[in-house]
Amino acid sequence: DNNILGLDLKAAINQTINFLSDDEVRLAMTGVHIVGSGDISFEATNAHILSVVTKQYDGVELDYIETSKTLRGIGRLIGKSNVEVQFGREGDWTIYEIDNTTIYSRSYDATFPNIDAVIPEGSSYNLIVNRKELINKLKLAKVFADETTNAVEFNFSENMCIKAKDIDHGRAGQAEMEYDSKSEIPENGIKVGFSEKYLQMLLNNIDDEEVVLEVYREDRPVIIRSEDILMLIMPIIIRNG
């Protein structure tokens, strides 16, 4: 059997469950990929954003996709108790033991996307910002954003400038904020477009006072890291007019 602390498992569930796709054509992305040995990773993506949570774990190597329904049920059973959860694989089934409750769950017969293919490599600019301030600036920019795309454009230069516009309704606005002094600021500036909706989801997924944005190029994803979480948001094209 494999063992993991209940609160670790519940935290991993809470930090991945909202990032799943609801597109049943992409069956693998409607569940959480549980993979690893020694350390175990919980991976979730809807093709726009990605969350990878890594927890300490005592057991054999795992590689399967768990359903969201099962994981929500496990989270409710754990509650606030740090009970040790035992689980093991038998063919396509996973058996979870939580206190005196046994759950049998059949995993998806699907292949999870290779997340290494989308995680940028090489050097990045690490920009440190206050998480709550960034959330508030995004809310201000959202007022001017296109209601269909929720698109906002970030200009990472001396300050962070967040622009939004709705061409069809003739409105535009922007919000600015400063980085922490330890940030590595791009000399020539980097502009990247994001979905405000998905970026808010990432920022609300962690409790850190400050976050580090790993910025690479205009056409590359941006990574946000926390203690045991790696999150990624894909760039989008901003429509000019």
pLDDT digits (tens, 9 = 90+) for 153-182: 999 999 999 999 988 888 889 999 999 999
Is residue 58 over pLDDT 80? Answer: no
Sequence-ordered list of residues with C-beta below 8 angstroms from that of 58, at least 6 positions apart, any chain: 2, 3, 4
Q: What is the pLDDT of residue 240?
A: 66
CB 77 within 8 A of CB 42: no
Q: What is the pLDDT of residue 81?
A: 84
Q: What is the pLDDT of residue 241?
A: 55
CB 146 within 8 A of CB 168: yes
Is residue 4 over pLDDT 80? Answer: yes
pLDDT grade for 187, boundaries at 50, 70 and 90: confident
Spatial distance between the Cα atoms of 41 and 39, rounded to a whole number of angstroms = 7
Helix 196-203 × helix 131-142 angle, to 10°: 160
pLDDT digits (tens, 9 = 90+) for 119-159: 999 889 999 999 999 999 999 999 898 888 889 999 999 99
Least Cα distance to 10 among 121, 84, 115 occurs for 84
Least Cα distance to 75 among 108, 98, 55 occurs for 98
Section 24-44 average pLDDT: 92
Q: What is the dihedral of CA 116, 119, 124, 130, to 10 degrees?
A: -130
Alpha helices for the chain (secondary structure H): 6-14, 68-78, 131-142, 196-203
Average pLDDT score, the chain? 92
